[in-house]
Structures are given as C-alpha cells and as structure tokens.
Structure 1
Amino acid sequence: MCGIAGIMSAERSVNAQAVRAMTGLMAHRGPDGAGLWEGANGRLMLGHRRLAIIDPTPASAQPFVADGVTLTFNGEIYNYREIRAELTTRGHAFTTEGDAEVIIAAWRQWGEACVEFFNGMFAFALWDTDKRQLFCARDRFGEKPFLYVRGVGFFAFASEFKALLALEGVSSVIDTPRLARFLTVPADGLDRGETTLFPAIRQLPPAHAASIDLDTLTMRSTCYWSGQPAPEVRHLSAHDAANTFRDLLTDSVRLRLRSDVPLGSCLSGGLDSGAIVCLARHELGESVPYHTFSGRFPGTSADEGAYMESIAAATHPIRHDIAPKPSVLLDELAQFAWANELPVDSASQYAQYCVFRLARQNGVKVLLDGQGADEILGGYEQYFTAYLRGGGRNSPLIASRYGDALTQVQPWHAALPTGLRRLLARSLNKGSDISFGLTGDVRVERRPPPANLHEALRRDALDGFLGTLLRYGDRNSMAHSVEVRLPFTDHRLFEFAQGLPAEQLMGDGETKRLLRQAMNGILPDMVRLRWRKHGFVPPQVNWLHDGLLKAVEQVVEDPSLSALWDRRWWRSAIRRFHAGDTTQAAGLWKVLATEAWRAHFLEPAARQHKFQPLL
C-alpha cells in the first residue's frame, strides 16, 4: 500500500519539484520511504511513497526498475507467489521477495494481459522503455484509486485529489449538480465512471487498464474484466455450493494473510467480519497472536459487544476496542475531512477512521475487513424486492424477519416534480428528503429497477455505492498508514455468486444465505443466524444530542454557508429535531460533513502552493 504519482510530457521536461510535492502531500500513504525516478530524457517522472508490507527491505523500494521497465505501484498482488512460481518455470529470474518485481515480469511475459492474472487490490503505472509506453491499471472493484489529469502537453496521475490539485492549471472547481445528486441519492455515488466531482480530474474506472503514448499522449483505455458468472456452478446443489464457496473464501483469506509485518482484523460483530476472523484463526492456528479492532457504542442500541464476545470466545484474539465520541469528532473534523477528500455520507466513516487509527497505535499495519459481502452476496433486506421480481420464491420468513422489506410503498407525492414536492414540504413543515433543503432542483438519474437479484447485486457491486465505500476505506486507512484487505472482493467470489441460482443467495428469507450455510460449524450461531442486519453505524441521533447539533446550528447560521443549502429549511429541520423528529438526523449530518469538507479540504486545496508540471 502506497501513494503513487507521476507526470509525463510530450515535448518538455517534467518539473521534478512538482512530483516531489505531489508525493509529499501523500506521505501518510507511505511513511516508510520516498522515491523518484526520471526517464525518457526528463520527459517522464514517477514518484512513490512506501508503506512496506511485503519484503520491506530496501531492495524492493520503488519506483522499481528491472529489465528496462520501471514501476510505481499502490496495493498488493495477493497471489504473487503463485505467479512468481509460474514465471520462474518460463525462465524469469527474481532478485527480491516482493510483488513489484512480479508485476514487471508478468508484464514482460504477458503484456497488457498481465492484469488478468492478478488477484489483488492495485493501481500502478509501468513505463516500458522499449515500447515508449506508460501502462496503467486498476483492480477489478476499484479498491485502490487512480486519478489523472490530461493537461496541455502533459499527463499526470496520483493516488489522491490533493496531489493533483497542487499542479498549476488543475482547477479545484467542483461539479455542484453532481454533489447535490450524491447528497440526495448516495447509491449513485461519486465514483462511477471516469468523471469525478472535480471536472479537471478524471479516474481510471475499476477493472480498466490504459496505455499512454509518450510522443502524442494519446490514451487508450480498455476494460479487462466484467464479472461474468462462473458457468460451471449453476447446477451445484446447495450443499456443494456452500462447501465450494467456503473453500474459495478460505483461500481468499489465506492469500490476504500474507504479510511481513503484524496484521489483524476489524471485528464489528456481524456475519462478514466474524467469518473472516474465524477463517483467519483457522489458517493461522491457535498459537499465532491475532489482533482484532472494534468500534463500540456502549449504552446504546448500536453497540455490538455481545456479538463480538461470542466471536472472540471462539477465536481467542487479542482484542482492542475504541468508543468514538462526538466531542472528539468535532476536534478532529478538519483532519478527517482533509483525509477523506470528498463529502462523507455517514458518521460511520468516522468510526471506521477511529478503528484504523487504533490498529496503527497498536503496531498493526495490515487489517482484514468484511467490506463488499453485502453487495456481492445479498446482505441488504431491500434485495428481496429484486429477488421476487426475478421469480424467487416468497416465504413468510421474509416478512417476519425483515418487517417492511416488501411493503415499502412510494407515497403519492413521490411522483410529483421536485419543485412541487419541496413547496409542499415547506408549507406543511414535513419531510426528511435532503433535496428539500437544497436550493435548486436535483436531477437524479433514475435507472429502471433491477429485473432480478443478480442484476441488483451486479449494479451495486460494480456500478453503485460499493465504490464509494471502498474509497472511504482507502482514505480512512491510509490516513493512519494502515493497509486494509478485503477477502470478499476477491473476483472469484463474485463470479461464483453470480453463477448460482438466486435461491441459494436469498432463499427462505435469508440474506447472505450462501455465507450463512458455508460458515455452519465455524461461526457461532449467535452471529450466523442473526437475521436483522445492524451494520457498523454509530448512534447518530445520540451524537447530535451530545454536541453535533450545536455544531450544525453554527454551520447553518454561518454567513459563509454554501449556496447549495436552503438556510430556512435547515433552521426548520433543527427545530423539528429539537422537538423529537429524529428523521432529520441523516440530513443534519450531511450539512455538517459537507460544510466541513468545504472548509477543511476544498478551501485549503485551492489555497495550497501550485507547482508548474513542466519546466
């Protein structure tokens, strides 16, 4: 896990000071070292910040150069040992024990198809001297960022927005309508496609690779993976499917336990993180110390302590807990906003930020986490609608376990134009839709509802909010120089689940049915058979009462409040919250978080010293 940056020019020399500044702004991503490489007679510079995880010796420092190829790489290739063994049989020799050298050898062996062999999270740029070509690639789910700018006479890339915004000519102006859409419908995300919230900055989409020609800066981009269902699993029995899935997930965990530095797991008390901790303990054995890190909310319904205890009793980890507090959040709001770079949709991301810091404070640089299981395996109760629409069998268990999952009816006013809905809401002093508190009409892309469960999962996993959740995980972990690995985003699991009948994913009123069956006898039943999903969500209403609401009031009354917000509406929302209307909590958080982002990221990024990319 690292920070990468670089600038390529068609004609002029690259300003080395600019690349140093870019990597310096990402020192948190790689505090273990920095590197700069110059090539193509000064027309190309690659920068790197190192977080040493695999082969932490100086020999593996980056940018890594071998056989006329130079690499700057962020992430991990988990199956690098298997690829290395294959390449050795094909005549390649290695001088290090790390995965960077494996990427270069794979490039020399298979060219652009090398990415198809990688099981990992990665974003990298590779310069081939002979081909005069820069090859860039990003992992299948987009766990690692690859942001870039195509300027006048240059191409620049980096792991974070702040690095690119340090370049002269790269504007910090944002796409306000897109921000408004994200605030209104977070599932549409800010991480879909090539565009970003900053029109001047683009991103390489997940599962894409790109080649940039040195002389013309022409960019050719291709998608190398589309998550096609595994055809051979369609006719597996439920028993065989569960066993096969358990083997795949176990192997995914095994690969992600490879580390030359201390590692552990996040433990929320849920099915996903609990499964990972149980499988990790089985792989490591009882004698190996294994750390878990948890966020707790004592005295509230959001606390998952009892479920954590049941998992700990079965796995005997070294436990570390933290109880995030709203007062500390306010003290750290500036650092939190600077680290995240874009507005944060939920207070749960601050709790995640605290858990990752706790790991670093205890000397653990690598964490396994359960992110991605819900979107890949059907973990949300709203998926039952798509399940039934696609022909899934109804069951009384759906209604008894998940309450309103099937009875959520759109109110009559939902079909009205936004302006009229806003007028009614303000006249009646009712409603919690955040769009009522925005100054302009928000045009939201209304995609047709998914035809079946598989389509719903594919949409959310590959083109929905999962991408935003992965960005949160990247920024919150990297803020504390911690690498987070996600066993459920192994592409083999997605292909397997997509190939199974829907009944094996959500039949008989079970969310994540496949995982529940696969973990029978491994994960305590108290967790495995828990039907209502809680999730890692702080008690946001309590937090507002404990200090956040006062901060929201100050933001709403601040003369510099963004023109995005309707001040009168939020004054009313605050009064309604004081009167006991807790439906306003999510919107009040978004006002606070978005204004904090403007004050502590957007404005500082615009004010920072700018560097000319070229000499």
Structure 2
Amino acid sequence: MCGIAGIVADRPVSPGAVEAMTGRLVHRGPDDQGIWRSDDGCAVLGHRRLSILDTSAAGHQPMERDGLVTVFNGEIYNFVEVRAELVGLGEVFHTNSDTEVLLAAYDRWGPECFARFNGMFALAILDRRRKVLVCARDRFGEKPFLFAARPGLFAFASEYKALLAMAEIGRDFDPVPLLRFAHRPATGLDDERATLFPAILQLLPGERLELDLSTLDTRIDRYWTLARDPALGALGMGEAAERFRDLLTDSIRLRLRSDVAVGSCLSGGLDSGSIIMLARRLLGDDAPYHVFTGRFPGTRADEWDYARHTSQAAGAIVHQVEPSAAGLLADLPDFLWANELPVGSASQYAQYCVFRLAKEQGVTVLLDGQGADEILGGYEQYFARYLAGLPGPERGAEEAAIRARYPGALDSPRQALSKALPPRLRHWLAQISGKGSDLLFGLSPDLAEQVAKANAPPVVPQGWSPLAAELMRDSFSTHLPVLLRYGDRNSMAHSREVRLPFCDHRIAEFALSLDPKLLMGEAQTKRLLREAVKGILPEQVRTRWNKQGFLPPQDIWFAQGLIDEAERVIEDPSFARAGYWNVSWWRCAIRRFRAGETHLGWVLWRPLMLESWRRHFLERITAQPGVEALP
C-alpha cells in the first residue's frame, strides 16, 4: 500500500516536481521513498512505500526489470499463485514482493496480465521496449488513479493534492459536480472520468491507459467487464449459499496474506461479523485477532450489543473508540485535508477515528465489510427494484412481507406523488411553505433543476433484472466507488491498509448471476449471505433485520455543537457570494432545527461540509505555490 506519482513530458522534467508530489503522499507511505528518472530526463516516477509484503529493502520502488520500471500502489492478493505459474514457465524471482510478480507477469503477458490479478491496485509501468507508459486501476476502483493530460505533459498521482502540487495543474473547480454530490452523495465526484477539478481526470474501475512516449497520445480501454453466467440463475439456495461461502472464505484467505499485523473493523452488522468469524476459522483458535470498533454510548447509533456477540464468539481482542461532535470540530481541518473532497455524512469521520485507533495499537492491515451491501442487496431501497422484476402474482405477497418487516423501505403513495412533481414546482412549494428537507430547496431554482436532471435514475439496460442492474450500477459506478474513496483516504491518512473481501470480482460475478430471489427474496436483505453464514455467525447478528450502518448520531451531534458551526458557515458572507445557495431557505432550516426538527441535521450537514471543504482544502491548496514540472 503506497502512494505513486509521475510525470512524462516532451522535454526534461524537473525531478523536484515529482519530489513535491510524493512529499504530499508521505502519509500513504512513511516507510520508504524513491525517485526514478529516465536517461533523457523526460520521464520521472516517484513512490512512497508502506511496507506490507516483503518489508525488506528488496521491495523498494520504483522497481526495474529488463527495460521495465514500475510504481505500484496496492496489493495483488493472488501473487503467490501467479508467481508459481510464472516459475513453472521458467521465471526466476529475487524477492518475496508482489511488485516483482507484477513486473514478471507484464513481461510475460503484457497488459493482459491485469485480468489475471485478484487485488486492489493503481499502477504505472514504463515499458522502454515498446516506448509506452501503461497504467491500470483495479476492477472495483479501490485504489485511486488520477491524471492530467495537456500538450507536452502527462502526470499522474494517487491523490489530488499531489497533482495540485504542480504549477501546470489548475486549481479551479466545477460547482455542478459538487452540488450533484451534495444532493445525492453517490453521484458527481466518482462516477465519471471528469472530476471536480476540470484539469484532473481519473481512470474508472477496471480500466487501463496506454501513453505513447513519443507523441504523448493516450488510449483508454477496459481490461475487465463483469461477466454474468446464465447457468447460475438456476441454482437453488442451498447450493448457492455453499458456493458463496467458499468464495468468501477464499477471498478472506487471500486478504490475510501479510508480513505485518492484520486485524478487522467491527460494527454490529452482518458484513464485518461474517468476515471476522470466517477469518477466525482460517487463523485457528489460538492466533490473536484484533478488532476495532466505534461506539456511541447512550444513543440508538451504538451497536455494541451486537458487536459484543461477534467479538466474543470470535475470541477477538477488542479496541474501542468513541467519536464525538467535539472531536469532529477539532479534527475538521486535518480530516478534510485527508479526504480531499467533501464527505456525505459523519460516518466518514467515525471511520477516520477507527483507523487512527488501529495506528495507535500498531495494527497495519484491517479487513472491512465494505461492498457487501451493493453487491448482495443490503439496502432497503433495493426492495423497490427487486419487486419491479417480479411477475404480478408474486409481487403482492412479497410487497406485503417487505412492508411488514421494513416499514420505510417502499415509498408511500404520498412520497411517490411528491417525487413525481416537477423540480421547479417542488422548489416553489418548499419556499412558500417553509417546509421540506431536500437539498435542492436550498439551491437557486435553475441550478436545482439542473442538478435534479443530472441525478435522474438511468434506464435499466437490456438483459438485466431491475435489481441486478441497480446493484451493478451502485457497485461499479455510483455508490460503492464513493465509499471506496472514503476508505482509501481515511485509512491512508493514518498509514493503514484496508482490505475488502466482498470486493472480489469472483463474488460479484457469482452473486449478480443468481436469481434475484436468492439475494432479496422472503423480505430479506443480503439473503444469500445470511444463509451462507448460518451456524457460523451468532444468530442475534445473522437475523438482525434492521440495517443501521456505521452511522454516528448525527442529529445529536448537531445539537452538541455542529448546528452552531453550520450557522456560522451560512451567515458568513462567502456563503452568499458562492452564488448557488438559497440563503433564506438555509436560515429557515437553522431555525426549524432549533425549534425541534432535528432530522434537518442530515441536510444541514451538506453545506457545512461543502463550505468547510472550501476553507480547509481548497484555500489551503491554493495558498501553496506549485512547483514547475517543465522549467
């Protein structure tokens, strides 16, 4: 797990520019650093290393081999198996690192090697024989790959702040993606190649880029697209659950490979609990296993009663942290600097605190349950898409069962009518009534309509059930990529590595090929996972129907000080000067919150974060002069 950066140009590059870029990535790799420069000086690659596999100096990067040089961020979990295959083909290895396996695999198979890897990675390989720079990002997009291309110059890095260290990269931002994210945090910032900064682009999950070193022309294509197996649609629950359990167990086995300590994040839910219990089976009863959890005592957000059942069953060593509103306000500058973009809720700060706790306890690698909800149908709102794919006779009984177990999962007729109203009419009604909690009401009418249209649900593609299409989209385009960015930045802020067993392409291909009834039938979220861990996970957790998520008591936090900070932000003259906020509506929202409408803390979070981001990231980055790459 590391930080990477590089510049390729049509004339010699200043090594100082890449040193400045990697200097902003020290948190991603505090253990080692390296700079490589081509003979003609037109290519410079930089690396910061967090040592996980082969922690000796042999794993130093940039790493070279027979005309190839690479900088690599992430892990190839199946490097042992790939290495064995290469040894059988006559390859000789000198380290125990997955980086050397990466270079040998590319040397043998070329860019097709990426499809052979099970891992999380963002990488660049400078191939001096073919005179190209080949870059790639893992299938889920767990690791970031940001780049900037302009005449005579191509640059890439793991984080925005590294690219923005270059004088040639503009710091201007586009407010429309920012507001799309504020309206619907799954969109706007991570679902498209364009980013918030017009000068910076990103590789999307499962993509590779090839840069011609002679012309600096780029070509991007996909090395992986999820393939569904129609034969799996006929599987019954028994066989499907058994095969899924085997896949998940193997995914965890691969992600336990490490030369440093490995632990787990623990909530009170199904996902992290399943990982911990299966990991315990793989490690054996005697191996110490550290788990890290965030608590919110005295509130409904505290999941300790459930987390305790899992930790006791696993015989785990538990470490607890109690994030708070006061802590968030104190950490806000560092938290937003680390995250680089605004965050959707206070849960991201709680995650930040958990990774900080792991650093304090000396555990470098943490397994986490991220991805299960999107791949397996873990959110209540997916029930609407599930029902849409059922034939009429079955739909009625399923809908009744869903409404009985999950009263808020499906829209009431009134809610459906409200959502069907034209955006301008909804906006007007909110202004004259002084009610509503949609962020769009806090924007100017023109901009609110533009954001609503941009965030409209896409059409279901042919050949997919409505549920599978929604899960596919949320897993690889919208919802999960945002959460993966949070996980990457919050873990790396504390030099920790987070590994996600559910983000294994084999699991996604298997689950999304099944009959949707196996995922959400019988009014069960993540039905397949519940069946797969029967007899393994404590029943109190396995049959816990209410999904809470790792969410702090955000409404209480607002009453404990965040509302004062939000009011300060809204009353600051810069808020009105931004030009897109409907200031009067936000002032009304502040008064309504203070009068008892505490649910408005969730919508007030958005302007608080956006304006705090402007202050703690954008203004800070703008105040730092850039280093010229091409002096």
Report TM bin, short chain. over 0.9
Offset, 1:413: 4.4
Specify which of 588, 596, 613 is matched with residue 572 of structure 1. 588
SS in 1 for 2:348: helix
Specify which of 512, 529, 532 is matched with residue 498 of structure 1. 512
Identify the residue that residue 600 of structure 2 maps to in structure 1: 584
Offset, 1:40: 4.7
Identify the residue that residue 5 of structure 1 maps to in structure 2: 5
In the TM superposition, 1:359-398 aligns within 5 A as 359-391=358-390, 393-394=394-395, 395=398, 396-398=400-402
Partners of 1:123 and 1:336 in 2: CA distance: 23
Partners of 1:407 and 1:139 in 2: CA distance: 36
Identify the residue that residue 172 of structure 1 maps to in structure 2: 171
Partners of 1:321 and 1:90 in 2: CA distance: 48
SS in 2 for 1:193: coil
Offset, 1:411: 4.8
Identify the residue that residue 99 of structure 1 maps to in structure 2: 98
Offset, 1:376: 0.2
* Equivalent pair of 2:555/2:599 in contact (CA under 8 Å): no
Offset, 1:232: 4.1
Identify the residue that residue 570 of structure 2 maps to in structure 1: 556
The runs of 5 or more residues in structure 2 that have no matched partner are: none
Identify the residue that residue 536 of structure 1 maps to in structure 2: 550
Offset, 1:166: 1.2
Paired-residue identity, %: 54
Identify the residue that residue 70 of structure 1 maps to in structure 2: 69
Offset, 1:255: 0.3
Alpha-carbon displacement from aligned partner over 1:357-384 (angstroms, at most 9, x marks no partner): 1001100110000000000000011111
Alpha-carbon displacement from aligned partner over 1:260-318 (angstroms, at most 9, x marks no partner): 01110000110000000001111111111110000000000000011011001110111
Offset, 1:138: 0.1
* Equivalent pair of 1:477/1:484 in contact (CA under 8 Å): yes
Task: Note if 1:483 corresponds to 2:497.
Answer: yes
Task: Note if 1:330 corresponds to 2:329.
Answer: yes
Alpha-carbon displacement from aligned partner over 1:205-230 (angstroms, at most 9, x marks no partner): 11000110111001111111111113
Partners of 2:166 and 2:25 in 1: CA distance: 14
Higher mean C-alpha displacement, 392-401 vs 249-258: 392-401
Specify which of 427, 435, 438 is matched with residue 433 of structure 1. 438
Offset, 1:488: 0.2
Tell me the TM-score normalised to structure 1 length.
0.98
In the TM superposition, 1:415-494 aligns within 5 A as 415-439=420-444, 440-442=446-448, 443=450, 444-445=453-454, 446-448=456-458, 450=460, 452-494=466-508
Identify the residue that residue 524 of structure 1 maps to in structure 2: 538
Aligned residues: 614
SS in 2 for 1:149: strand
Identify the residue that residue 605 of structure 1 maps to in structure 2: 621
Across the aligned residues of Structure 1 and Structure 2, the Cα RMSD in angstroms comes to 1.3
* Equivalent pair of 1:398/1:509 in contact (CA under 8 Å): yes
Task: Note if 1:341 corresponds to 2:340.
Answer: yes
SS in 1 for 2:40: helix
In the TM superposition, 1:349-364 aligns within 5 A as 349-364=348-363
Offset, 1:28: 0.4
Partners of 1:156 and 1:441 in 2: CA distance: 33
Partners of 2:435 and 2:551 in 1: CA distance: 25
Partners of 1:61 and 1:344 in 2: CA distance: 34
Partners of 1:125 and 1:245 in 2: CA distance: 33
Partners of 2:158 and 2:262 in 1: CA distance: 23
Partners of 1:484 and 1:286 in 2: CA distance: 23
* Equivalent pair of 1:365/1:481 in contact (CA under 8 Å): yes
AA aligned to 2:233 is R
In the TM superposition, 1:244-255 aligns within 5 A as 244-255=243-254
In the TM superposition, 1:72-221 aligns within 5 A as 72-221=71-220
AA aligned to 1:165 is L
Tell me the TM-score normalised to structure 2 length.
0.95
The runs of 5 or more residues in structure 1 that have no matched partner are: none
Partners of 1:456 and 1:412 in 2: CA distance: 22
Higher mean C-alpha displacement, 405-414 vs 215-224: 405-414
Offset, 1:560: 2.1
AA aligned to 2:457 is R
User: Cα gap change, 1:411/1:383 in structure 2, threshold over 3 Å: closer, same or farther?
Assistant: closer
SS in 2 for 1:209: strand
